[in-house]
Amino acid sequence: MSVEAIIEPSDYVAPDTFNQFLADLKARARQTKSPIISPRMFCLALGMDVQTLASRAHVHRVTVNRAQGAEKLQTYLRDAVRVMGAAADINGNFQDAAFWFRNEPISAFNFRTPEQLVREGRAEDLLNYVQSLHAGAAG
């Protein structure tokens, strides 16, 4: 299904590639004429409910539905997308990057998952970590 045809994010099925995920988010932003990341599409892509996203972003659940452009929420979404993009750069697969983001503990960060680290505001530390892994694999 083309993202241009998506009327409601509830129709969304996450793609295999990160680039397509970004394209889907951009298409949704164009469709709604609002340059923000759709929290509902993000939730659907990561198998997350609205309450969980609200908790991770440190906002009230009503914010996710009624104030989607709230800075705190959008900062969390941007950081999460950046981290998953860096992870997808290593293997190219969005589904693997999303699974890693939500579930895989990292020993260098006291076995916290990337999702927990982004929640704690440590996206930059995590990006540096992922970049060091990528550099090690590349050279």
Banded pLDDT at 73 (limits 50, 70, 90): very high
Across the range 127-134, mean pLDDT stands at 90
Distance between CA atoms of residues 38 and 80, nearest Å: 13
pLDDT value of residue 59: 97
Q: What pTM, to 2 d.p., does this model score?
A: 0.87
87, 101 contact by CB (below 8 A): yes
Distance between CA atoms of residues 52 and 106, nearest Å: 21
89, 76 contact by CB (below 8 A): no
Residue with tokens 């530390």: 125
pLDDT value of residue 8: 60
Residue with tokens 């970049």: 131
88, 18 contact by CB (below 8 A): yes
